[in-house]
Amino acid sequence: QYALTYTIIQTQLCTCLLFLVFFIIYILTQLGNLLILLTVWADPKLHACPMYILLGVLSFLDMWLSSVIVPQIILNFAPASKTIPFGGCVAQLYFFHFLGSTQCFLYTLMAYDRYLAICQPLCYPVLMNGRLCTVLVAGAWVAGSIHGSIQATLTFHLPYCGPNRVDYFFCDIPAVLRLACADTTVNELVTFVDIGAVATSCFMLILLSYANIVHAILKIRTADGRRRAFSTCGSHLTVVTVYYSPLDGAVAVFYTVVTPLLNPLIYTLRNQEVKSALKGMTAGRGAE
């Protein structure tokens, strides 16, 4: 009986600890990305530059992507009910794939922006102006929305007449398909091909951009020039590396919990202009 009591107490403590950890991560994620958004918006030099416009969009995206999954994880550690309505499950699956694919497209746009800035610096103001940046960002959101709609439609047009327990920490496609009382082979194949095509094509385009960037940087004669050129894309390269690192079951946790938390940290620690803008905001507040 004492051993059983000890086990129950230990489980409860572990649950409380996980609740606290995810709650703190979520709050820090929202505050960190909000700070990046406010910094880009408040600094005239930043919100006039496509590189930082894309960074602001990424921060906005990370705030929503984190909000799709993490609050539900937090509730799962709470003593309250762990149920989610069917409509909520549909929305969660749709927004996870919508925002996740949009983030993937956005990383590709950020790599393309750095390619133009480093490989074609004289033409950069013309090739990547505010209007084109807006069009590209809008295209990424539309493409992500289409991707999410395809995944949600394919998943929820199946009949669900069996158990209603999702054996996962949120409503993702593999976990939901296991509940369908119909053949899901076609769904699994289309899902694999669709998601694989999006991730692979984005990754290959990013690799192509950075291959050209490295080639251009190596042509710079001075070490200081090479260092300054590479520093403009160091933060993005770090973020992309983190984004494509996780495997298997860690993917969803990384995309929705870890990556949105790390992005503002990486950009504030590695990007000199963002740090300068933050210092300027802090100094301005102090002067007031």
Q: What is the pLDDT of residues 181-237, one digit of tens each?
A: 888 888 888 888 888 888 889 999 999 999 998 888 888 888 887 887 777 777 788
Q: What is residue 19's predicted lDDT score, i.e. its pLDDT? A: 83
Average pLDDT, the chain: 82
Dist. CA 102–CA 34, nearest whole Å: 19
Rounded distance between C-alpha atoms, residue 48 and residue 38, angstroms: 14
Looking at residue 1, its pLDDT comes to 45
Considering only residues 171 and 27, tell me which one the structure prediction assigns the higher pLDDT: 27
Quickly tell me which residue has 């976990």 as its tokens: 175
Question: Which range has the top average pLDDT, 39-43, 109-113, 169-173?
Answer: 109-113
Instruction: Indicate the pLDDT class of residue 247, thresholds 50, 70 and 90.
Output: low
Question: Reduced to 3 states, what is the DSSP secondary structure of residue 43?
Answer: coil
So what's the pLDDT on residue 123? 87
- Look up residue 239 and give its two tokens: 């973020």
> 132-169: per-residue pLDDT in tens?
888 999 999 999 999 999 999 988 888 887 777 777 77
- CB contact burial 153-185 (16+ within 10 A = b; e otherwise): ebbbebebeeeeebeeebbbbebbbebbeeebe
**Domains recognised in the chain with CATH numbers:** 2-287 (1.20.1070.10)
| CB-CB contact of 26 with 66 (8 Å) | yes
Work out the pLDDT band at 102, boundaries 50, 70, 90: very high
- Cα(239)–Cα(252) distance, integer angstroms: 16
Per-residue model confidence (pLDDT) at position 82: 67
Task: Please state the φ and ψ torsions of residue 133, each to the nearest 5 degrees.
Answer: -60, -45
Whether 160 contacts 175, CB under 8 Å: no
Mean pLDDT of 45-73: 88
If we measure between CA atoms, which residue out of 108, 127, 113 comes closest to residue 51? Answer: 113
Question: Buried b / exposed e across 92-127, counting CB within 10 Å, b at 16+?
Answer: bbbbbbbbbbbbbbbbbbbbbbbbbbbbeeeebeee
More confident position, 89 or 279: 89
The whole-angstrom separation of Cα 94 and Cα 138 is 18
- CA Rg, the chain, in Å? 22
User: At 71, which amino acid appears?
Assistant: P
Give me 159's structure tokens: 């009949």
- For 263-288, what is each residue's pLDDT tens digit? 888 877 667 777 777 777 666 555 55
CA distance linking residue 155 with residue 93, whole number of Å:
9
| Dist CA 164 CA 85 (whole Å) | 10
**Per-residue pLDDT at 37 exceeds 70:** yes
